[in-house]
Each structure stands twice: as C-alpha cells, then as structure tokens.
Amino acid sequence: MFGSAPRRTRRVVLSLAALALTALAVPGAGAQAATGGGVPIGGKPRLADATCTSRCVSVRKATPGATVRLTGSHLNSAVRVVFRGAEGALPATVLSRTGAEVSAKVPSRAYSGRPYVVSEDGLSSNPSPKQLKVLPVEALPRQVFPIRGPHQYWDGFGAGRGHEGADVGARCGTPLVAAQAGRVRYTKFHASAGYYAIIDLAGSDLELGYMHLIRPALVGPGQSVSAGELIGYVGETGNASGCHLHFEVWKGVWYGGGSAIDPMPYLKAWDRGRRV
C-alpha cells in the first residue's frame, strides 16, 4: 500500500509540474490563469453615484476644475474617469482611489453627463446612475443652505439651556455643505456635539458650526472651502436625539472670545435662495 506510485500517476504528476513551469516562464500566464483570462480578481468596476466635493454649485452640479467623487465597488484599479466632451469621451486622471471610491478633477471642456471609470485592465464601469451637471464657473454660489435635501426646522436659538444654535431635522446621510466660502478651523469629536466642523467665513467675522455629523468631516483644519462644497453628512452622533444638524453662527471666534447669535435668520434666508 505504501510502495511507489503507479506509472500512470507519476506521468500525471510530471505533466502538472511541467505545466506549472511553463506558466512561470511566460509573463502574465499565471495571472491569466488565476483571473480567468485577464479579468481582475476584484471584479469589474461598478459605479453607484457621482457627486461634487469642491468648486460645486450643488452636490451634483460641478464646474470645470471641480473635484468629483465616484463611489461604487471594485474601484481600486481605476486609472481614468471619463467625462462627456464635445467630440465624445473626455478622460481625466484619477487623483485618488480605494475599492469603494475614486476622485478626479472635471476637465475644462467637460459637458454634463454620466461619467464612468476605466480600470488598469481596460474594463469600463457602468455610467453613473445619476447625471453630473457641469456648469460655468460663474454659476458658483456665494451662499447656500447647508443641508442638501428635505429638512424641517426643530428647536431654535435659546430653546433650552445652553442651546446656542438651531436644530434642523433631516435624514441621516443627507449631504452637508459649506454655507459660504471660508477656512476650516476645527474638525473634532465631542461627547455632546458628536462629530463637528467649524468654518471661519472669508471676509467676515463670523464662524459657522456644524454638529452631530454622522462620521468625521470630509474636510480638515486649514482647508479652504467654497460655498456648496461637501463637508459631511447629517447624523446623530454625540448627545443627539434623531438625525439632525445643530447649526451655530458665532460673531468672533467660536468659544474663543466670540458670542453665539441666532442662526435662524441666516438659515431661512438661504433656504429661500436669498443672501444675507
């Protein structure tokens, strides 16, 4: 029973060994065998959405030079984001990528459309399910409402002890944007405020506070933001009951010598598309 293997078995073993050596000798042969003829192990790239993150008119309205984020699956091998141009496909180089998202800048000659990505292996994803509009730079807003989705007003300024802002209810995950251009001062976590971001407005002595973000802000301290730029998402982190944005407006430095003022006139004016 434990003697030498039959001659036929030895021939099969030798044949398999020779095949393995052949695969090693031919560049890429082993990779093709492992991936089924050149299809990457991770799978074909797939897009779920495309949103604007900087130089934005709104979440799905960008301008030339804007940074856009495409989310989905199997995106870690993406090398190009393809936009629509006057003569067809207009490729842009990927700025960053993970398995779940890719970022790129909108080319100067891009048109509105549904961008897609191309992988290192030349595989194209599906077009983004929702259209990304590309508008002239002149369309960039100067002031916008900070919640980009359905919302309702809750408690106002001074509604309770220490309530130095206004609460606006919205579904968790609703995009939050910079109401005006400025520079990010803080992005931290606090037991009461949850994940929060403070923005020092450009050309003003006002600072804006965004509290209870669903996760850490998408922007960092020292970063410049434009009106309409995505900074995070509505959540209920910290001492919060229900998904909402606690929004504060401070005259002077936030908790550094300044004082909180009622943000409701600002919010309602922006909600109606008016400037204040």
Q: What is the CATH number of the domain that holds 206?
A: 2.70.70.10
User: What are the pLDDT digits (tens) for 243-258?
Assistant: 999 999 999 999 999 9
**Domain membership flag for residue 175:** yes
Does residue 201 sit in the same domain as residue 91? no
Residue 180 included in any domain: yes
Q: Which of 63, 45, 46 is nearest to 54 (CA)?
A: 63
Residue 23, in any domain of the structure? no
Pair type for strands 133-134 and 61-73: parallel
Q: 7 lies in a domain? A: no
121 & 196 share domain: no
182/263 same-domain check: yes
Residues 120 and 217 in one domain: no
Q: How many CA atoms lie within 13 A of 100 on its CB side?
A: 0
pLDDT at position 53:
85
Q: How far apart are CA 142 and CA 137, in angstroms?
A: 12
Residues 6+ apart with CB under 8 A from 122: none
Q: How far is CA 32 from CA 29, 37, 122, 124, in A?
A: 5, 5, 15, 19
Q: What are 26-44's pLDDT values in tens digits?
A: 333 333 333 344 444 568 9
Question: Which of residues 96, 115, 139 is at a domain's end?
Answer: 139
How far is the C-alpha of 194 from the C-alpha of 216, rounded, in Å?
A: 9
% of the chain surpassing 90 pLDDT: 70
Closest CA to 274 of 154, 208, 265, 57: 265
Residues 193, 87 share a domain:
no
Q: In whole angstroms, what is the distance from residue 232 CA to residue 223 CA?
A: 14
**Quick one: pLDDT at residue 37?**
43
Examine the domain organization and report whether 171 and 248 are in the same domain: yes
Chain centroid to Cα 56, Å, comes to 12
Average pLDDT over residues 56-62: 86
pLDDT, mean of residues 170-182: 95
Q: With 70 as the cut, is the pLDDT of residue 15 above it?
A: no
* 223 and 159 housed in the same domain: yes
224: pLDDT strictly greater than 70: yes
- Give the domain extent around 69: 46-139
Answer yes or no: pTM beyond 0.75: no
Residues 132 and 157 in one domain: no
Q: What pLDDT score was predicted for residue 161?
A: 65
pLDDT of residue 226: 87
State the pairing for strand pair 46-58/61-73: antiparallel
Whether residue 259 is contained in a domain is answered as yes
Number of domains present in the structure of the chain? 2
Asked whether residue 163 is assigned to any structural domain, the reply reads yes
Looking at the structure, do residues 189 and 217 belong to the same domain, yes or no? Answer: yes
**Structure token pair of residue 3:** 């003697």
**Of 54-63, 92-101, 224-233, 263-272, which gets the smallest average pLDDT?**
54-63
Mean pLDDT over all residues of the chain? 85
User: Which of 72-81, 109-118, 186-195, 220-229 is the least confident region?
Assistant: 220-229
Show which of 139, 174, 190 is a domain's final residue. 139
Q: How confident is the model at residue 213 (pLDDT cuts 50, 70, 90)?
A: very high
Residue 160's alpha-carbon distances to 156, 165, 266, 275, in angstroms, are 9, 10, 20, 28
Q: Is the pLDDT of residue 130 over 80?
A: yes
User: What pLDDT, in 10s, does the model give residues 96-113?
Assistant: 999 999 999 999 999 999
CA distance 90 to 197: 35
Shared-domain flag, residues 121 and 156: no
What CATH number has the domain bearing residue 122?
A: 2.60.40.10
Least trusted range by pLDDT, from 57-61, 218-222, 264-268: 57-61
Q: Which of 80, 107, 139 is at the close of a domain? A: 139
